[in-house]
A and B are shown apart, each in its own frame.
Chain A
Amino acid sequence: MLIKKILSMLFLIYCSAVGYSQTDIDAIMMSKNNFCTGFMYTHNSWDQYWEGTFKRNNQNLGTVSSQMIGVMGNYGLRDNLNLLFALPYISTKASMGTLAGQKGLQDLSLTVKWMPIEKKWGKGDFSLYTLGTLSAPTTNYVADYLPLSIGMRSKTAMVRLMLDYQVKHFFVTGSAAYIFRDRVTIDRPSYYTTELHNTNKVDMPDMTNYNLRTGYRSSTWIAEAVLDIAHTQGGFDITKNNMPFLSNQMNMTRAGANVKYTFSSIEGLSLIGNVMFTLSGRNVGQTTSVGAGVFYIFDFNKKKNKS
């Protein structure tokens, strides 16, 4: 089961990490005519952030937190071709200061995940995946209100190449992605980055993402350690004591762990939990994320067979 969340990567970047354990980034495919769906809850918070390279707190924000409830799903078009979606509802708040938190439905993402190669190699199994994701905001939420906006409002397209190697129950998965980000329209007619812009359109720098995960994988348990690196290709630093802006350079390196348990007593039901810490960053909060989810697989093959 694999659910995903691309925007997590972008959004979690500042407002907090929406770390799903069930992501498109794992090397697992949904079988043909199976539909896995469920909910994920994630809590993200930070009280330290990087203003450029300067790490600081801010008594006018205190702890910035966000809560995400996402509905997501993955349908097996074929055994090696899956279609995934995710749609999160997010609410944000700051524990100190006067700024009002925001809440609302964020961005819908759709992913095509394809495994063109799966073969024996040495003692284990090698597989290769390509993923393509589109995301777009589903509501007219406020973007230009960092760090309390619920998202960036940028339409994105991502391509990812992923390799997996598994020997018995131990595996390594590595992937690299490039994320194209469309310009964003904000509510003001002019803004300053490193120069004055007389427009309400903001060009968003693209992003790259590298993800490495390794651990134990069986039909009942998955336990993995994760390293995730996201980099903005361009953008500028928050100047001293300024507010963050959408087109800042936002980088972060995060590490954490995922656990997934699939029940054998109730076929198709699984629970997941995860935690992610931010090791280093630039123009982002040092987010800690804790998430949990429940998922269920509907097998349409069975129904067909029965009927």
Chain B
Amino acid sequence: MKKITIYIGSLLLLLAFMPGCNRSIEDRTKELPMLEPVKTDADAGDWKPVVLATPTEVILTAPLASNNAAYLRELNEIKGLQQNLTDAQRKTIQYWGAGAVLRWNEIMRELVAKRNLPPYQNADGSYPTPSAANPFSYPVFPFSNPPYAARAYAYVSVAQYDALVAAYYYKRLYTRQAPYKTDTGIKALLPENTLPAYPSEDAVVASAAVELLKLLFPADAAYVQQKANEHMEARIMAGMNTRSDIEAGVTLGRLVAAKVIARAANDNMSKAVGTPAQWAQLETDAAAGGEVPWKSLDAPSRPPMLPFYGRVRPFLFDSLTTIAIRPPAPPSTSSEKFKAELEEVKYYSKNATRDRIAIVHNWADGVGTSTPPGHWNLIAAEDFVPLRFSEVRWARNLALLNMAVMDAGITCWDTKYFYYNPRPTQMDREIKTTTGIPNFPAYISGHSTFSAAAATVLGYIVPAKANAYDAMAVEASNSRLYGGIHYRSDCEVGLAQGKKVGNFAIARGQTDGCN
């Protein structure tokens, strides 16, 4: 009896601790190698910025000389910090040492996911609209849906890229060395390089991000500033920059951000929501053309998502081009082709295999996620890490990617609201879906357009993976058909349209002086 007691007792204990033993979360990017660029890109001050005409459009005064007493006192600050580094501080240095542009890209994805929530309805069934003027009251501003997010990623990436081009220009001009080179009493806690330290490239990246994110995610301004402070302190503790290197970076980042924000203020985004009269007009116009107009499938019925986002000013072409490259009309809702495509959607709806659901959910990127543009940023970021780009090359590549993704969103939204085509479930209520139906017209598929644009740009940046990226874009596109929320035409034309936009980005990349 006693034996049994011991046996059972230990069995129960064993059972109890089996699943509990392996509890640390596996995050792919929490711990990454320190960024040690293959090339310093010391001449990136000659690269072509996006919003700035030239780097000298923003003025940065010369630093104090390295024998100046004030500068020497700054070196003492670093020595003092390095004498008492805690484990937490060393961790912070390592975290940010993986790459400034990389970490801010992750923070951006986090903010998008956090704020990607459609507003809850009012008691009367209408919906409140988030207001930038009053960001904290419900619904919190913004609702970072895919088009909003695409534009946010693009503006932050562009601001960081332009600020870095200016920073590299002034680095070469002023050639102030890093503190660990000036004073042997200071250790470099991150990989050494030959790049001048003034202004700090990390501070420029953080400062440009802070300014843009305060605009784009006002309710998270305090969090963003706290991250930036942590980032910049880490650079000082690591012996990579003095406080004046950092402050110069902040100044430069702000100056560039102001130029980028001026562009954002006049890109028509403020008119993208539209008015109830405009929403009604969209429906009337579609019906007048003999087509079944799109209707919201949300309950209560929700106004269409950013119907005039198609008029937002693109980065890679002008708004007239948006109209010029608009794809031809989808199959008429009364045509045989339309019926056949509807049947195909219904087939996938009725035959949702486990493998297809996995594809649908891998690419869904719906409510509460960093959106399809964020998903492609994740793919890009994780593929860029082993390629060890310099900060400015990181920023340039993400700017190319995100300009393409934003412009893909613009042409996609232009097309969606020009044709105002209904979702499959609107035409056949028996079509159930394995992911939420987005609250905007079907033609052309946003996922397909975003994905093909992203895959095209990434294939240009990382040619060895070009075929893999194309295959991913096709899978992302198919996922919408498998999920029962898009017709094949939406997907195929969306892919072709995305590729078209991606090629604009490649054309820019070929002439920006980076290669």
Q: Measuring CB to CB, which residues of chain A are less than 8 angstroms from any residue of chain B?
A: 59-60, 81, 96-101, 112, 114, 116, 130, 132-134, 140-142, 144-145, 154-159, 178, 180-183, 186-192, 195-199, 201, 203, 206, 239-243, 245
Q: Is the CB of A199 within 8 A of B25?
A: yes
Q: Is the CB of A198 within 8 A of B18?
A: no
The answer to whether B378 has its CB under 8 Å from any CB of chain A is yes
Q: How far is the CB of B497 from chain A (nearest CB, A)?
A: 25
Q: Is the CB of A159 within 8 A of B15?
A: yes
* Beta-carbon nearest neighbor of B12 in chain A: A132
Note all chain A residues with C-beta closer than 8 A to B22: 182-183
Q: How far is the CB of A72 from chain B (nearest CB, A)?
A: 19
Instruction: Given A60-B299, A133-B15, check contact A201 B117 (CB 8 Å).
Output: no
Which residue of the partner chain, among A133, A142, A241, contacts B361 with CB atoms under 8 Å? A142
Which residue of the partner chain, among B25, B349, B362, B368, contacts A243 with CB atoms under 8 Å? B368
* Beta-carbon nearest neighbor of A132 in chain B: B12
Which residue of the partner chain, among B17, B357, B375, contacts A187 with CB atoms under 8 Å? B357
Q: Given contacts A100-B434, A241-B118, list 5 more A-B pairs with CB under 8 A.
A: A100-B349, A157-B17, A186-B361, A192-B368, A240-B138
* Beta-carbon nearest neighbor of B18 in chain A: A157
* Beta-carbon nearest neighbor of B432 in chain A: A100
Note all chain B residues with C-beta closer than 8 A to A242: 117, 367-368
Q: How far is the CB of B118 from chain A (nearest CB, A)?
A: 6
Q: How far is the CB of B185 from chain A (nearest CB, A)?
A: 38
Give the bracket for the number of chain B residues in contact with chain A.
Answer: 35 or more
Instruction: Given A60-B298, A239-B117, check contact A99 B434 (CB 8 Å).
Output: yes
Q: Could you tell me which residues of chain B, from 64 to 107, have a CB within 8 Å of some CB in chain A?
A: 106
Note all chain A residues with C-beta closer than 8 A to B431: 98
Which residue of the partner chain, among B5, B365, B368, contacts A239 with CB atoms under 8 Å? B368
Q: Could you tell me which residues of chain B, from 353 to 385, have a CB within 8 Å of some CB in chain A?
A: 354, 357-358, 361-362, 364-370, 375, 378, 382
Instruction: Given A182-B19, A191-B369, check contact A112 B8 (CB 8 Å).
Output: yes
Looking at B26-34, B153-161, B188-196, B320-328, the stretch in contact with chain A turns out to be B26-34
* Beta-carbon nearest neighbor of A133 in chain B: B15
Note all chain B residues with C-beta closer than 8 A to A114: 8
Note all chain A residues with C-beta closer than 8 A to B18: 134, 155, 157, 180, 182
Q: How far is the CB of B328 from chain A (nearest CB, A)?
A: 28
Q: Is the CB of B25 within 8 A of A197?
A: yes
The answer to whether B425 has its CB under 8 Å from any CB of chain A is yes
Q: Measuring CB to CB, which residues of chain B are less than 8 angstroms from any residue of chain A?
A: 4-5, 8, 11-12, 15-20, 22-23, 25-30, 106, 109-110, 113-114, 117-120, 138, 297-300, 349, 352, 354, 357-358, 361-362, 364-370, 375, 378, 382, 425, 431-434, 436-437, 484
Pick 6 A–B contacts, CB within 8 A, sort by A: A98-B297, A99-B436, A130-B12, A196-B113, A196-B370, A242-B367
Q: How far is the CB of A128 from chain B (nearest CB, A)?
A: 12
Q: Is the CB of B17 within 8 A of A180?
A: yes
Q: Is the CB of B432 within 8 A of A99?
A: yes
Scoring B11, B16, B298 by chain A CB atoms within 10 A of each residue's CB, the highest score goes to: B16
Q: Is the CB of B19 within 8 A of A159?
A: no
Q: Is the CB of A59 within 8 A of B27?
A: no
Give Cα A191–Cα B364 distance, bound, in whole angstroms: 11
Q: Is the CB of B114 within 8 A of A192?
A: yes
Scoring B18, B30, B119 by chain A CB atoms within 10 A of each residue's CB, the highest score goes to: B18
Note all chain A residues with C-beta closer than 8 A to B368: 192, 239, 242-243, 245
Instruction: Given A187-B361, A240-B138, check contact A100 B109 (CB 8 Å).
Output: no
Q: Is the CB of A100 within 8 A of B28?
A: no
Which residue of the partner chain, among A132, A195, A241, contacts B119 with CB atoms under 8 Å? A241
Q: Is the CB of A178 within 8 A of B16?
A: yes
Note all chain B residues with C-beta closer than 8 A to A81: 4, 8
Scoring A98, A101, A157, A187 by chain B CB atoms within 10 A of each residue's CB, the highest score goes to: A98
Q: Is the CB of B29 within 8 A of A198?
A: yes
* Beta-carbon nearest neighbor of B111 in chain A: A196
Q: Is the CB of A198 within 8 A of B117?
A: no
* Beta-carbon nearest neighbor of A155 in chain B: B19
Q: How far is the CB of A226 from chain B (nearest CB, A)?
A: 24
Note all chain A residues with C-beta closer than 8 A to B25: 183, 197, 199, 201, 203
Note all chain A residues with C-beta closer than 8 A to B369: 188, 190-192
Instruction: Given A157-B15, A241-B119, check contact A203 B28 (CB 8 Å).
Output: no
Note all chain A residues with C-beta closer than 8 A to B436: 98-99
Note all chain B residues with C-beta closer than 8 A to A157: 15-20
Note all chain A residues with C-beta closer than 8 A to B362: 187-189
* Beta-carbon nearest neighbor of A136 in chain B: B19
* Beta-carbon nearest neighbor of B366 in chain A: A243
Q: Is the CB of B12 within 8 A of A96?
A: no
Give Cα A132–Cα B15 distance, bound, in whole angstroms: 7
Scoring B299, B375, B378, B382 by chain A CB atoms within 10 A of each residue's CB, the highest score goes to: B299
Give Cα A95–Cα B11 distance, bound, in whole angstroms: 44
Q: How far is the CB of B377 from chain A (nearest CB, A)?
A: 10
Q: How far is the CB of B57 from chain A (nearest CB, A)?
A: 34
Give Cα A96–Cα B300 distance, bound, in whole angstroms: 12
Q: Is the CB of B361 within 8 A of A112?
A: no
Which residue of the partner chain, among B16, B20, B299, contacts A97 with CB atoms under 8 Å? B299
Note all chain A residues with C-beta closer than 8 A to B17: 157, 180
Q: How far is the CB of B435 from chain A (nearest CB, A)?
A: 8
Instruction: Given A100-B433, A190-B370, A239-B368, check contact A198 B361 (CB 8 Å).
Output: no
